[in-house]
Amino acid sequence: MAFSTPGSATVDAPAGRAPAGRRARSHYAIGLRRLARHRAALAGAAIVAVFLLGAVLAPELAAHDPTEAHLDFALRPPTGAFLLGTDSYGRDILSRLLFGGRISLTIGVIAVALSFCLGVPLGILAGFYGGTVDHIVMRTVDVWLAFPGLLLAIGIVAVLGPGLQNVMLAIGIAGVPGVARLVRGSVLSIREESYIEVGRAVGGSDAHIMRTHVLPNVLPPVIVLLTLRLGAAILTGVGLSFLGLGVQPPAPEWGAMVAEGRAYLQRAWWVSTIPGAAIFLSVMGFNLLGDGLRDALDPRLH
Amino acid sequence: MHRYLAQRLLQLVPVLLGVSILVFLMIHLVPGDPAQVLLQDYGSSEQIAAFRHALGLDRPLPVQYGTFVWRLLHGDLGRSIHSGRPVAAEIAARLPYTLRLAACAMAVAVALGVALGTLAALHHRRFVDYGSMVVALAGISLPSFWFGLVLILAFSYYLRWLPAAGADSAASIVLPGVTLGAEAASIIARLTRSSLLEILHQEYIRTARAKGAGAARTIFRHAFKNALIPVLSIAGLQFAGLLGGAVIIETVFGWPGVGRLAIDAIFNRDLPMVQGVVLVAAVIFVVVNLMVDLLYGLLDPRIRYS
């Protein structure tokens, strides 16, 4: 679009509402630079990186097979051969943690991606067209939001049955209305901007305008929301697995590991508490990063 | 105000209608034949057919939905497949436990959250501020079931101060209440801080200080009045969230509330019970949110309803 990249910085559009193209990218560049100076965000990014690396390199890093039982070594405290101890089947907790990160973190990422893919189009359609479309979408969102988050996910799992896929689906669906509502709000605030009008004037179709002008401008707050939601989605996922509704044993899922260790809490504290600490740390990492991203990308949300 | 109230109550109708439709559809969304699902795959084909007819599952969906709503309006949530007792009665027996737990958690959340947030705001950009906010962020990042287990380990097993499970004594509610309230406390702390910071920079606070009011008096008499209004609204929303969180907490602490009831029902494939709990939770959620909205207006005369 020729009109969206005038290349001059004299137009005083507020940050985050710049049209797509070069200036929109520079908005992200500014954000990234701010992020690089944000110490808490850097700490968060470092924590997240460690966990992601651990998950990706699990086969290389793990000293033992995550599902292999060594009954002679059951409930060993953290020592040399088993750095973080063993569980009731004598399985190496560190190896299970590394492989478990693949499951627990993936659930969060896929669920949030699903909320994003459904929520963003819904929000854009509602905000862009207004009227009946908006009414239908927003009333649906109201109904959706009437179910307290975790209960909606539990209800969906109750219908679909437990398991990895259904948990991702349940958490993803439960997150849609929040995204749709945020996006709709942003679209409403940019709908009357002159670059949208220009896009229309030069004969751009609705779909084209939504894709090239609306979408890039509603993304910053959505990215912030999604990063912050990532931690919550991981927590919901491990929560469901802890309840026995998610990933089933013997898969090394963090929430399920905490649940398995409950019976030995007094005798072997490490079986439950170490996987729980891993959940806590990784979610803290995502939340630190999300807070930093919010400060850097979207000062309006602060 | 009356017109606003009427308007808000009217807005509830489509939401509750939607909720009832979704809950009604739950049984039909389960893969497979509803009658067979309800009989948990037991029974001969004749038995299943008879069951289907008895429950009206052979009638058209709109008719079934009509019957469903008609029964709901009479307080009939169906019968539990597992126990055979009315769902409404089972929920009514458990609900007080969950509400008591949520109230206790809310008290913990408000007390801790407001204290931490105020502390942070008063020490803006100093160590106490950063420290409090890290604690608050940690509170949001805690997996509640793990936090609960750590508290049990510390206060029940090692220190032997508090019971680890059950609801037998007054002390039983302390650990689950604190665990459930931790996340809400963190959210309230963050909001109290930003809300107070905004207000502490306003003219009337400076005036109060200039007239010789001490720091404590300024905070408690002048700033809190306005700063706590948004906190109240978030607290209301959090209360509803606590109902969801209670599902996990009740499992960790063996607390006999509706959350535990819902999980047991899922494992027993007792769908009418699951439907009942989801429906009741949604209705409570919606009603609490409405009450928070109305209270908001009563406390803040700047908000005019039209």
Give one DSSP letter per residue of B143-159, joined into a string. -HHHHHHHHIIIIIIIS
Question: Model confidence at B94, in pLDDT bands (50, 70, 90)?
Answer: very high
Per-residue model confidence as pLDDT tens digits over B253-304 = 999 999 999 999 988 888 889 999 999 999 988 888 888 888 877 777 666 5
Q: A2 CB contacts (<8 Å, ≥6 apart)?
A: none
Residue A2 has pLDDT above 50, yes or no: no
Per-residue model confidence as pLDDT tens digits over B15-65 = 999 999 999 988 888 877 777 777 776 778 888 888 788 777 888 889 989
How close does chain B come to A245, measured CA to CA in Å?
9
Spatial separation of the C-alpha atoms in residues B122 and A152, rounded to whole Å: 39
Task: State the average pLDDT for chain A.
Answer: 82
Q: Quick check: ipTM above 0.90?
A: no
Residue A19 has pLDDT above 70, yes or no: no
Q: Out of A41-50, A246-255, B217-226, which region has the weakest mean confidence (pLDDT)?
A: B217-226
Minimal-distance CA residue of chain A relative to B198: A302
Per-residue model confidence as pLDDT tens digits over B127-168 = 999 999 999 999 999 999 999 999 999 999 889 898 888 877
Q: B217 CB contacts (<8 Å, ≥6 apart)?
A: B208
A244 with B267: CB under 8 angstroms? Answer: yes
How close does chain A come to B262, measured CA to CA in Å?
9
The structure tokens listed for B296 are 């908001």
Question: Model confidence at A17, in pLDDT bands (50, 70, 90)?
Answer: very low
Spatial separation of the C-alpha atoms in residues A23 and A6, rounded to whole Å: 9
Beta bridge partners of B79: B86
Considering chain B, what percentage of its residues have pLDDT values greater than 90?
Answer: 41
Of the candidates A139, A244, A262, which has its C-beta nearest B149's C-beta? Answer: A262
The answer to whether A243 contacts B251, with C-beta atoms less than 8 Å apart, is yes
Residue B305 has pLDDT above 60, yes or no: no
Burial bucket for residue A271 (CB in 10 Å: 0-12, 13-18, 19+): buried
Query: What b/e readout covers B117-149, taking b as 16+ CB neighbours within 10 angstroms?
Result: bbbbbbeeeeeebeebbeebbbbbbbbbbbbbb
Interface test with A, best of B17, B27, B137, B141 (most A CBs within 10 A): B141
Minimal-distance CA residue of chain A relative to B190: A302
Minimal-distance CA residue of chain B relative to A263: B149
Query: In this complex, is the C-beta atom of A150 within 8 Å of any C-beta atom belonging to chain B?
Result: yes
Q: What is the DSSP letter of A247?
A: S
Residue B213 has pLDDT above 80, yes or no: no
Segment 44-83 of chain A within 8 Å of chain B by CB = none
Query: In this complex, is the C-beta atom of A263 within 8 Å of any C-beta atom belonging to chain B?
Result: no
Query: In this complex, is the C-beta atom of A243 within 8 Å of any C-beta atom belonging to chain B?
Result: yes
Of the candidates A149, A160, A239, which has its C-beta nearest B145's C-beta? Answer: A239
The answer to whether A265 contacts B157, with C-beta atoms less than 8 Å apart, is yes
B57 with B45: CB under 8 angstroms? Answer: no
**Higher per-residue confidence, A107 vs A4:** A107
State residue A298's pLDDT score. 63
Query: In this complex, is the C-beta atom of B4 within 8 Å of any C-beta atom belonging to chain A?
Result: no
Query: In this complex, is the C-beta atom of B282 within 8 Å of any C-beta atom belonging to chain A?
Result: yes
Residue B306 has pLDDT above 70, yes or no: no
The answer to whether A147 contacts B14, with C-beta atoms less than 8 Å apart, is no
Q: How many CB pairs under 8 A join A and B?
A: 134
Contacts of B16 in chain A (CB under 8 A): 146
A220 with A177: CB under 8 angstroms? Answer: no
Contacts of A154 in chain B (CB under 8 A): 247, 262-263, 266, 278
State residue A4's pLDDT score. 39
Query: In this complex, is the C-beta atom of B149 within 8 Å of any C-beta atom belonging to chain A?
Result: yes
- Average pLDDT, integer, range B196-216: 81
State residue A302's pLDDT score. 42
Burial bucket for residue A63 (CB in 10 Å: 0-12, 13-18, 19+): exposed
Considering chain A, what percentage of its residues have pLDDT values greater than 90?
Answer: 30
A157 with A240: CB under 8 angstroms? Answer: yes
State residue A12's pLDDT score. 40
Interface test with B, best of A47, A136, A235 (most B CBs within 10 A): A235
Cis-peptide into B31, omega within 30 deg: no
How close does chain B come to A199, measured CA to CA in Å?
37
Q: A40 CB contacts (<8 Å, ≥6 apart)?
A: A288, A291, A292
